Structure 1
Amino acid sequence: MSTTTIRIEEALKARIVAAAERAGQSPHAFILDALSDTVDRVEMDEELHRIADQRWATLMRTGESVSWTDAKAYMQARASGKSAGRPSPRKPAR
């Protein structure tokens, strides 16, 4: 494992020490977990944006979408444990 030096203001360092104690961790372990959580969040955000961009491109290319009424009914059925067929995308009436 490599070593990285960071400068932390005293007020933040005190908060880290206090939070680490409450979490039952050493300050070192707490900082590593915080860094890992932040990297995970950034990677998940990037993946979400990638998927959203793909779906937007598909919508722009095909003009098809699932209506909110159909999507809501599908999600409510699934949330209540019922079997439900996925709603089909279609071009909205103009």
Structure 2
Amino acid sequence: MSTTTIRLTEELKARIARAAERSGTTPHGFILGALEEKVGEAERRRDFVDEAERRWQAFVADGQVFAWEDMREYLARRAQGERPALPAKKTFGREP
């Protein structure tokens, strides 16, 4: 395990100490937990953005979409426990 030095204001250091005590941990443990939480949040956000970009690129490539009315019916049937087939895709911006 490596060591990293961070500079904290006295006010922040005191706040961390109080929060750690209330949480039943040490300031060191509290800081590590906060960092792990923040890194996880950043990773999930990046994964979300990457997935959105992949989906956008797939849409741009083929222009195929589900009509909202068809998808709404599909989802309603799924919510009722049915196993309907996915609706047919349509080309975006073109009427059937």
Larger proportion of strand: 2
- TM-score interval w.r.t. the shorter chain? 0.7 to 0.9
2:59 pairs with 1:59: yes
Q: Select between 46-55 and 84-93 the one with higher mean Cα deviation.
A: 84-93
Taking structure 1 as the reference length, the TM-score comes to: 0.79
Task: Give 2:91's aligned residue.
Answer: 91
Aligned pairs for 1:1-94 within 5 A: 1-75=1-75, 78=78, 80=79, 82-84=81-83, 85-92=85-92, 93-94=94-95
Letter in structure 2 aligned against 1:82:
G
| Count of matched residue positions in the alignment of Structure 1 and Structure 2 | 93
Q: Give, in angstroms, the shift of residue 12 of structure 1.
A: 1.2
Structure 2, unaligned runs of 5 or more: none
CA RMSD across the alignment: 2.2
Question: How far apart, CA to CA, are the structure 2 residues paired with 1:72 and 1:21?
Answer: 50
Larger of the two Rg values belongs to structure:
2
- Alpha-carbon offset, residue 73 of structure 1: 4.5
SS for the counterpart of 1:90 is strand
State the percentage of identical aligned residues: 39
Distance change >3 Å, CA 77–CA 35, structure 1 → 2: farther
